Amino acid sequence: MRSTSIKEILSSDPASQNVVVNGWVKSFRSNRFIALNDGSTLHNIQCVVDFEKIDEALLKQINTGAALKVTGTLVESQGRGQKVEIQVSEVLVHGGADPEVYPIQPKKHSMEFLREQAHLRVRTNTFSAVMRVRSALAFAIHQYFRENGFYYFHAPIITGSDAEGAGEMFRVTTLDQKNPPLNDDGSVNHKEDFFGKETNLTVSGQLEAEAYAMGLGKVYTFGPTFRAENSNTSRHLAEFWMIEPEMAFYDLNDNMDLAEDFIKSVIKYVLTHCEDDLSFLEKRLLDEEKTKPQAERSEMALIEKLKFVSENSFKRVTYTEAIQILRNSKPNKKKKFQYRIDEWGADLQSEHERFLVEKHFKCPVILFDYPAKIKAFYMRLNEDGKTVRAMDILFPGIGEIVGGSQREERLDVLKEKMAALEIPEEELWWYLDLRKFGTAVHSGFGLGFERLVLFATGMGNIRDVIPFPRTPQNAEF
C-alpha cells in the first residue's frame, strides 16, 4: 500500500480507512502514543500503539528521531488537539536513533548548538517551519514574475567582472597555488589559468541581466551570489541568494513601484499559504522576546507585522531628507550613534537605517537619490551632477533588504564615470556595447532572499534561514 503524507492524512476524514505513513518519532509517551512527523507539515500524527504487543527488540528502537513505517487504521481521535489518529497494527523501524548520542532531543536547544548540527536541525519544529516558509517564498517569487510578464534569466556564476566594484570576490582558479606561472614582473600569469584570465564567483547577476533586459524586456535572476566581505553580522552571508529583476524602459519610479508591489505580494502569499508555520514562528518569537528588555521587543507580533507591511505604503524619502532627519535626531545629538551623521555624503550605517524605519517612520522606507560617491558605477547620474538614481528599501528589524537603481544608459556619461573610478573599458566592452546599440532607460534591483526570509519568519540571525550557511571561518557540511 502506498504511504500517505501526514499533511494529507491530517486533513482527511476518519473513515476507518487503512493507512501507511512514514516519518520520524517526535515524542512518545504513556507506552501508548507516538507522535510522528514527516516534514510535510508542522503537525504530527498521533499513533496509538499497544507497546506491550510490540516485540521488545523493536520497542527499544522507538526513540525520538527514529524513522518508522506505521500501518494502521485512521480513526477519529479521542484526544484533544487533533481530528484523527492512527490505531496502529504494525510498526517497522527504518532506522533507530540512539538517545545516548542523537543530538536532537525533545527539549529546547540553543540556536548556536543547532548551527553545529545543521544537518539535523531541520528535524526541529523551528527549522522545518522556517524552511517550508523559505520554499513557499521562492515559489511566490517565481509566480509573481511569471504573472507579470518577466522571463527567468540564468546569470553566470563564474564571471570576470566585479559588478558592485567593492572587490569582495572569491577567486576561481585552477592554477597551482604553490607554484603559479609568473609574468616577467613577478605577478601571476592568468593567461595560463583555466579561462585565460582572472575570474571569480559572481557578486551580482545584474550586468548580465541588463544585457538580457535589452532584448527580452523584463527579466529576473534568482540564484546564488558570493561575497568575500569579512562581515560577521546577523545580516551577512558569504553565499546568499539574490533576486534581481531588470526592466527595459523602466525609470526609478517604475522600479520603486515594482519593488514595493513585489515584496507585498510575496508576503501576502506566505500569509495565506503558511498559516500554521507562521503561527508557530510567531509564538516562538514571543517566547524569545520575553527574555529581552522591554525596549528591544517589537511592537507587533509576527503576523500582524507581515500584514502591516503588505497592506501599507512604503515611505519614499530622498537621501538628502533622510540626512536632515538623522542629523536632528536624538541619538545623533546625544552621540548615541556609533557613527555620527555630520555631513551630507556620509554613508548610512545599519543603525541609521534602523532608526529611520523603526523609530522615525515606523514603516518600510525607500530611500532614493543617494550621493554618487557612495554608490556603484552603473547608477544614473541626476541633473545635479552629484546624486544618482539609486534606491534602497529598508525594513524593520532588518535594515537594507533591497538595493537598486535606474542604470546609466548614456555612453559618454558611463565612460566618464568608469574612467574616474579607473574601471578599464576593455573589461566591460560588452556592457558599453549595450549603450552603443539601442540603448534605453532601464532599471532594476536586488532583493536579498535570506533577508526576506528573516523578515517573514521573525528569526534573528541570517544563519538560521539558509540550510547550510557560509560565513567567515565556517563552511562545514
Q: Would you tell me which residues interact with ligand 4AD (CB under 6 A)?
A: 163-164, 204, 206, 227, 229, 236-237, 240, 242, 244, 400-405, 444-446, 448, 450-451
- Treating both helix axes as pointing N-terminal to C-terminal, what angle do 252-273 and 125-147 enclose, rounded to 10 degrees? 130
User: From CA 241, how far away is CA 226, in angstroms rounded?
Assistant: 9
* Least distance in angstroms from the C-beta of 359 to Mg ion: 21
* Least distance in angstroms from the C-beta of 240 to Mg ion: 12
Q: Looking at beta carbons, which residue is closest to Mg ion? A: 403
Which residue, 72 or 399, is less far from ligand 4AD as judged by CB? 399
445 binds, among Mg ion, ligand 4AD, none (CB under 5 to 8 A by kind): ligand 4AD
145 binds, among Mg ion, ligand 4AD, none (CB under 5 to 8 A by kind): none
**99: helix, coil or strand?**
coil
Whole-angstrom CA distances from 477 to 24, 127, 353, 387 are: 22, 16, 34, 44
* Least distance in angstroms from the C-beta of 300 to Mg ion: 26
Provide the 10 A C-beta neighbour count for residue 290.
8
* Least distance in angstroms from the C-beta of 305 to ligand 4AD: 18
Binding segment (CB under 5 A) for Mg ion, from list 107-115, 199-207, 212-220, 398-406 = 398-406
446 binds, among Mg ion, ligand 4AD, none (CB under 5 to 8 A by kind): ligand 4AD
Which residue, 161 or 199, is less far from ligand 4AD as judged by CB? 161
* Least distance in angstroms from the C-beta of 155 to ligand 4AD: 10
168 binds, among ligand 4AD, Mg ion, none (CB under 5 to 8 A by kind): none
Report whether 241 contacts 135 (CB < 8 A): no
User: From CA 440, how far away is CA 94, in angstroms rounded?
Assistant: 61
Report whether 366 contacts 259 (CB < 8 A): yes
Contact status: 403 vs Mg ion (CB under 5 A)? yes
Binding segment (CB under 5 A) for Mg ion, from list 137-145, 174-182, 236-244, 400-408 = 400-408
402 binds, among Mg ion, ligand 4AD, none (CB under 5 to 8 A by kind): ligand 4AD
* Least distance in angstroms from the C-beta of 33 to ligand 4AD: 42
In 3D, which of 126, 129, 266, 237 has the Cα closest to residue 462? 237
Which residue, 36 or 447, is less far from Mg ion as judged by CB? 447
Which residue, 31 or 234, is less far from ligand 4AD as judged by CB? 234
Which residue, 23 or 396, is less far from ligand 4AD as judged by CB? 396
Cell digits of residue 381: 547620474
In 3D, which of 252, 190, 197, 266 has the Cα closest to residue 453? 266
Which residue, 86 or 322, is less far from ligand 4AD as judged by CB? 322
Whole-angstrom CA distances from 147 to 155, 259, 267, 383 are: 21, 15, 16, 35
AA identity, residue 361: F
Please state whether 404 falls in left (phi above 0), alpha (psi between -120 and 50) or beta.
beta
45 binds, among ligand 4AD, Mg ion, none (CB under 5 to 8 A by kind): none
* Least distance in angstroms from the C-beta of 224 to Mg ion: 17
Cell digits of residue 315: 515611505
Which residue, 72 or 448, is less far from Mg ion as judged by CB? 448
AA identity, residue 207: L
* Least distance in angstroms from the C-beta of 249 to Mg ion: 24
User: From CA 221, how far away is CA 154, in angstroms rounded?
Assistant: 6
**Residues written for the chain:** 477
Which residue, 88 or 242, is less far from ligand 4AD as judged by CB? 242
Task: Determine the straight-line distance between the first and last CA of the chain, rounded to whole angstroms.
Answer: 36
464 binds, among ligand 4AD, Mg ion, none (CB under 5 to 8 A by kind): none
Which residue, 104 or 466, is less far from ligand 4AD as judged by CB? 466
User: From CA 232, how far away is CA 463, in angstroms rounded?
Assistant: 11
* Least distance in angstroms from the C-beta of 130 to Mg ion: 24
What backbone phi and psi angles, to 5 degrees, belong to 445? Answer: -155, 170
Contact status: 396 vs Mg ion (CB under 5 A)? no
DSSP string, 131-184: HHHHHHHHHHHHHHHHHTT-EE----SEES--TT-S----EE--S-SSS--B-T
Which residue, 171 or 336, is less far from ligand 4AD as judged by CB? 171
* Least distance in angstroms from the C-beta of 404 to Mg ion: 9
Q: For 304, how many CA atoms within 13 A lie in the half-sphere containing its CB? A: 7
* Least distance in angstroms from the C-beta of 401 to Mg ion: 10
Whole-angstrom CA distances from 269 to 113, 415, 446 are: 32, 43, 20
Which residue, 306 or 376, is less far from ligand 4AD as judged by CB? 376
The DSSP 8-state label assigned to residue 335 in this structure reads T
Site residues (vs Mg ion, CB under 5 A): 403
